[in-house]
Chains A and B, each alone.
Chain A
């Protein structure tokens, strides 16, 4: 893709001190001027192909444009662009045209021929904020919102009784849902997210379509196992689906166990009823999920790795999935016997572009079976989630079961990823970063739990006090208001 490779702009303040853009990101800018690069963007007519467009532009304006297809992987630089009159981005139907003396009038003529012409703006990537700056800005935003709400009141969404009802019902939620803030443990926080509008694929042993907790729920499904339907003959896939996408309430379950209860469910059967398969079928399942524009793919499966290294084919596939906005989450594996034996993260979770999930128990200890990140450059555990004594749905007639495994931890992360995707609109690598940056740090080695325990997005419940004055807050270490004596000294 196009790489501008510009240097960070410097900005001079009133006293003549120079800051770079990164430093300035914490400073409020009063004047915002649109800056232009000197180039033009030309939106080509809908449905026109690149070759025809180049020919048409040449006829109208005399400009000789190139196609992005002429560059390897359609990647070109400023230098490449400078050598031409302009380049047509084949996939977007947009031309970037250089400003040249002869071009000024000819560009305006394009506007008379069903093409939309704009000056190219200078843009700065918000996503390039470092984490501390982002926290600062978010904190500033939250403080302003909080102050505004205190002064003028807040919308009624903070008192949505339907949400409160579901919370009351979910007092009996699994320990995993409580530990990950899907069901906040304090009344001051609530979770308005349910995964609505998010497509979540579970690639596993299929699903029990007769399970009463999912009655009436639309489920898209596809089997990649020859001779077997998507009906789950094992129970493992139904358990994982239950954790990631199970209902908010159920007449027969003893606890709420589902996270993204309004997400669209995509079931890809890539493991047989015996619980095994080949990774060619898993690639086919990933391909199917991307083709269906799934935002999150949950894979509670693993292939043994004896030596070192990871699959280059899976890494290529996962990187392409991320680039298309699909986040793949996979189990680290259950091959360890801690504390004595810690095995490496298994295939395909050991690929750098696949998020690997380790398991913790209710006491926030690493599960004895959970694999660890043994190598510095790949095969890391990226995040941890509840994976011991996890209650969820399973195939009939058993209906519910409590199981252990990184297989159980993985759908916790997938379900919560769906909540974050709904809450923030983030996808792919940005969704990955959101999950890891909001995880709760644990006093455990990063080798075993990565960024920490996955956490769901929540909102603060604002409570209106029936008081006229702002209360005086006294620091517990200062029994008397210290402002008094300080004011006296100043006077």
Chain B
């Protein structure tokens, strides 16, 4: 399974960032409004390209977590 990316987003920019992500061809987008984070399953995009989107604060790859 492809590693997800975690994107922190500026206040009030969730919809705009989600729209821009869709434009780049990303279909699997999960918006976590209470904490201002979007989780995506990336395609051929690069993290650097996502960081260039207005309203994006940071982009990280999902990590494995355990008890």
Contact = CB atoms under 8 A, between A and B. Distances in A.
A317 B58 CA distance: 11
Interface stretch (A13-21, A115-123, A281-289): A281-289
B20 interface: no
Chain B contact residues (Cβ within 8 angstroms of A): what range? Answer: 20 to 34
Chain B contact surface mostly: strand
Contacts of A291: 33-34
Nearest to A272: B66
Interface of B: 4, 6-8, 10-11, 30, 32-37, 39, 57-60, 62-67
B35 A321 contact: yes
B8 A316 contact: yes
| A283, A347, A405: most-surrounded residue (chain B CB, <10 A) | A283
Contacts of A282: 65
Nearest to A204: B67
20 contacts: A276-B66, A277-B65, A278-B62, A279-B6, A279-B62, A280-B4, A284-B30, A286-B32, A287-B34, A291-B34, A300-B67, A301-B66, A302-B65, A303-B66, A304-B64, A312-B58, A313-B7, A313-B60, A317-B35, A320-B35
Interface string A230-251: 0000101000000000000000
Given A236-B67, A278-B4, A324-B34, A316 B39 contact: no
Contacts of A438: none
Contacts of B30: 280, 284
Interface in A228-275: 234, 236, 270-271, 275
A280 B39 contact: yes
B38 to A, nearest CB: 10
A320 B8 CA distance: 11
Interface residues of A, number: 37
A422 interface: no
A347 B58 CA distance: 17
A205 interface: yes
Given A280-B62, A317-B37, A234 B6 contact: no
Contact of B60 (A270, A286, A311): A311
A407 B10 CA distance: 32
A287 B37 contact: yes
Nearest to B4: A280
Nearest to B40: A280
B37 A278 contact: no
| A205, A234, A280, A311: most-surrounded residue (chain B CB, <10 A) | A280
Nearest to A311: B60
